[in-house]
Amino acid sequence: MDKMPTRKSLMTALILTCMAWVSAPEQAWGEASHWGYSGKNGPAHWGDLSKEHAVCKTGFQQSPIDISQIQQSGLAALEIDYRATPLRVINNGHTIQVNYAPGSTMTLSRRQYDLLQFHFHSPSENTLNGRHFDMEVHFVHKDTEGRLGVLAVFVDTGDPSPALAKIWQHMPNHADGKAAPADVAVRGGDLLPSSQSYYRFVGSLTTPPCSEGVQWHVMKQPITASPEQVDQFLAVIGANNRPVQKSNNRLVIDSE
């Protein structure tokens, strides 16, 4: 008889079960940083992984997008002033990122943005008339009011990129890996195309928390990397592109 559960122990078990159910979403939110690019933590679920990520599914100006409908044209040229920076490269588990020393800027119509870092996606996140490129470089900037501006450069396979070769040589091959080799400098400008005409639109971060109000500038002309260089990145990071999001009649402006 003493093995039979008492009414009190049943109630305790029931309460504990309820508490477990109630606390489960909190635990899930606590694991918000565990987002990824496939399965239950993949892009389709980012908005549910954390309340801080809700805009990933409720937003109306999410990135990336397919650039195909151009509604306006005529923009000032981008003034890009990227200095050489000591190579500081990290593998954050989602991408390979090069952190930039202060002093490099992108200026558009007198609004100046400071370059913070650049990182890579493969395949490209934004698409051009429905086409993915093999990679996309994102130069992430912030202005003095905290507004984010991204300059995106498509990468097509072709000739190897000497700048990528230098970075890949020090690419940490595991999450949270870092490299800061002595006497190695990189120039963001070495990853820019010769023609700097671009498309501009408003979007979001392409990773959680998917914050909106990001000014996007996508270069029309791609740079090149060898197929081996693309494969080297994929071997370490894997595919890391968020699928294209609804444009919702977003205004896309052509610089020309």
Applying CB under 5 A, the residues found at the interface with Zn ion are: 138
Smallest distance from Zn ion to CB 191, Å: 13
Which of 220, 247, 238, 245 is CA-nearest to residue 123? 238
Among 53, 94, 119, 132, the active-site one is: 94
Position 158: which residue type? G
Nearest distance in Å: CB 50, Zn ion: 19
Question: Which helix (H) or strand (E) segment is 52 a member of?
Answer: none
**Residue among 94 and 250 whose Cβ is closer to Zn ion:** 94
* 3-class DSSP assignment, residue 13: helix
**Beta carbon of residue 136, minimum distance to Zn ion (angstroms, whole number):** 7
Least Å from the CB of residue 206 to Zn ion: 5
**Cα distance between residue 135 and residue 157, in whole Å:** 9
Angle at 148 between CA 161 and CA 184, to 5 degrees: 35
* Catalytic (active site) residue 217: no
Give yes or no for a contact between 65 and 126, defined as CB atoms under 8 angstroms apart. yes
The answer to whether 175 touches 157, Cβ cutoff 8 Å, is no
3-class state of residue 3 by DSSP: coil
Nearer to Zn ion, 54 or 116 (CB): 116
Q: Show the tokens assigned to 15.
A: 């309460």
Closer of 9 and 33 to Zn ion (Cβ): 33
Q: Among residues 138 and 250, whose Cβ is nearest to Zn ion?
A: 138
CB of 138 to Zn ion, least distance (A): 4
> CB-wise, 10 or 192, nearer to Zn ion?
192
The number of beta carbons lying within 10 Å of the beta carbon of residue 181 is 13
Pair 204, 55: CB distance under 8 Å: yes
Contact 63, 87 (CB under 8 A): no
Supply the residues annotated as catalytic: 94
